[in-house]
Amino acid sequence: MTTSDKSANANAAVSARHAHVIGWGMAVPETAMTNDDLSAFVDTSDDWIYARTGIKQRFIANEGESTATLAYLAAQQALEVADILPTDLDLVVVATSTAENIFPSTASLVQDWLNAHEAGAFDLSAACSGFVYAMNMAADSIRAGSIDSALVIGAETMSRILDWQDRSTCILFGDGAGAVVLQANETPGGVLSSVLRSDGAGGDLLAIPSVGSIDANQSRAGANGYKLYKMYMAGGEVFKFATRVVSESVEQACKLADINVEDINLVIPHQANLRILQAAARKLGIDSDKFMSNVERYGNTSAASIPIALCEAIEERRIQNKDHIALVGFGGGLTWASMVIRWGIPKPSEQHGSLLNRQRRHVQYRIAKWRSRSRRWRRRVNSRVRDLQS
């Protein structure tokens, strides 16, 4: 079966339900680090970084900020825009390479803090492509009818896994989170197509070895340049890979959505490097103005970069109803992914952001804290009682 046959079958099976973006939000740490700040402790300069990457500054998490706290803030904003309650959510997915823990998942923490107690939760690992992968999983679940509403988050604290002595990587990355609410609706549109790809043969080009890694054996670590929990990247190779796959996969996603590349109103790519975006726009034959870029202010926030750029594009009124937008991610794995969305936001209520719902959400956030504490407390008391009885 060809890819377009598969897509046609999938579309026929799920034509009555469409997955629409109805809410969005973003959060970045309080502290910005400029290129000049960086050059105070790494052998680099504002001129070099800006000319090679387009980056001017990035945000770096302080001690009280983490992947989960940033994800939580972005999620609250997305629920506010969607004007739904946390208890309406069926699924919370966090795409991240810098999870709060190996387990429990960052998504489970966010689910608990939001009081989204009707939702399943899991983290998804596909590096900088993770947000598009997660959107695809959630949209497919909505279209298949297994869920109605999903919170999809991309969240990272890249600053925690950077080798701050490696000037070829530490200048590139920043911390942040972005979130969207996807909801089922009969109005045609929303997520139209997705293309997910991986080439594990390129896994050695970009990696963060962790506990399960063969490189956890210290006699091997260091031999190949890897350090546990630190990012390693062959920048030049990744650059060539990225410029190739961005254009190819956007073309494939357009074909599956049955539109031409010229019909795309805005491409929202993973924000890795301005030069990659410019090269990809040239390859696609579309104006670079149609490529959203905010890498200058945030650096590369990995899985968070696409939802953060989406939020800013909406804020800047660069997306209108019925527009076609393309999301495209690429990164470690190697992985890459594209998605075409027809924008058009059937709101749950015309009274968007209504005061009553806002108050109900705030009550639920308070309940969430109380609920978790009381559950832990009850568990401890029960286990003490059992100990005393035995």
Active centre residues (catalytic): 128, 270, 300
Pick from 22, 37, 29: which is nearest to 65 by CA? 29
Chain residues 7-36 in contact with ligand ACO, contact rule CB under 6 A? none
* Segment near ligand ACO (CB under 6 A); pick from 167-175, 217-225, 257-265, 374-382: 167-175
171, 254, 311, 327: which one binds ligand ACO (CB under 6 A): 171
Q: Please state, in angstroms and as integers, the Cα–Cα distance from residue 63 to each residue in 76, 149, 175, 198, following that order.
A: 21, 33, 13, 34
Helix (H, G, I), strand (E, B) or coil at 368: helix
- What is the bridge-based pairing of β-strands 190-198 and 335-342? antiparallel
**Residue 243 makes contact with ligand ACO by CB under 6 A:** no
User: Whole-number minimum distance, CB 302 to ligand ACO, in Å?
Assistant: 5
Pick from 165, 211, 224: which is nearest to 38 by CA? 165
Amino acid sitting at position 198: S
**Residue 206 vs 286, nearer CB to ligand ACO:** 206
Asked whether the beta carbons of 306 and 225 are under 8 A apart, the reply is: no
Chain residues 208-227 in contact with ligand ACO, contact rule CB under 6 A? none
The answer to whether the Cα torsion of 341, 242, 154, 61 is positive or negative is: negative
User: Whole-number minimum distance, CB 252 to ligand ACO, in Å?
Assistant: 20
User: Whole-number minimum distance, CB 237 to ligand ACO, in Å?
Assistant: 8
**Residue 202 makes contact with ligand ACO by CB under 6 A:** no
235, 251, 365, 367: which one binds ligand ACO (CB under 6 A): 235
Burial of 280 (0-12, 13-18, 19+ CB in 10 A): buried
DSSP 160: G
**Residue 206 makes contact with ligand ACO by CB under 6 A:** yes
27, 162, 272, 340: which one binds ligand ACO (CB under 6 A): 272
Amino acid sitting at position 14: V
Amino acid sitting at position 1: M
**Residue 82 vs 308, nearer CB to ligand ACO:** 308
Chain residues 53-112 in contact with ligand ACO, contact rule CB under 6 A? 53
247, 302, 357, 364: which one binds ligand ACO (CB under 6 A): 302
Q: How far apart are the C-alpha atoms of 267 and 281, rounded to whole Å?
A: 9
**Residue 238 makes contact with ligand ACO by CB under 6 A:** yes
Asked whether the beta carbons of 255 and 227 are under 8 A apart, the reply is: no
50, 122, 229, 239: which one binds ligand ACO (CB under 6 A): 239
User: Whole-number minimum distance, CB 235 to ligand ACO, in Å?
Assistant: 3
128, 267, 279, 284: which one binds ligand ACO (CB under 6 A): 128
b or e along 38-56 (b: 16 or more beta carbons within 10 Å of the residue's beta carbon)? bbeebebebeebeebbbbb
Count of residues binding ligand ACO (CB under 6 A)? 23
Chain residues 36-55 in contact with ligand ACO, contact rule CB under 6 A? 44, 48-49, 52-53
Orientation of helix 235-257 relative to helix 3-13, angle to 10°: 50
Asked whether the beta carbons of 94 and 151 are under 8 A apart, the reply is: no
**Residue 114 vs 310, nearer CB to ligand ACO:** 310
- Contact residues: ligand ACO, CB under 6 A: 44, 48-49, 52-53, 127-128, 167-168, 171, 206, 235-236, 238-239, 242, 272-273, 276, 300, 302, 331-332
